[in-house]
Amino acid sequence: MDCIFCQIAKGEIPANRVLENEHVVAFRDLNPHAPAHVLVIPRRHVANVASAEAADAELLGQVLLACKQIAEETGVAGSGYRIVLNNGPDAGQSVDHLHAHVLGGRHLDWPPG
């Protein structure tokens, strides 16, 4: 598989990692849209939320728990942060590996996009 996020999870491609455990890897986005912008990916390949199955429930929960931890460690938990999960090309998903964006450190307008 040629998935860039799978390669990052395996350590084959370097990334500015801020968290990793047996379930997820989190690293700073190369093109940040906020002072805190971290991507959280599952180590196991799941293309996106639409392709997730009931058996992936624990893994999806681990992604969200890692988002919470990233917000705490980057200092944005108190002021607020956004978790974004893009699903498919029209939503802006550019890598077909489920990933959550954790954004914070500034006021985030609504609606996005």
User: Chain centroid to CA 70: how far?
Assistant: 10
Bridging pattern class, strands 24-28 and 36-42:
antiparallel
User: Residues 37, 45, 97, 99: which is the catalytic one?
Assistant: 99
101 is an active site residue:
no
- Measured in degrees and rounded to the nearest 5, phi and psi for residue 73 equal -70, -25
Exposed/middle/buried for residue 29 (C-beta within 10 Å: 0-12, 13-18, 19+): middle
**Residues carrying an active site annotation:** 99
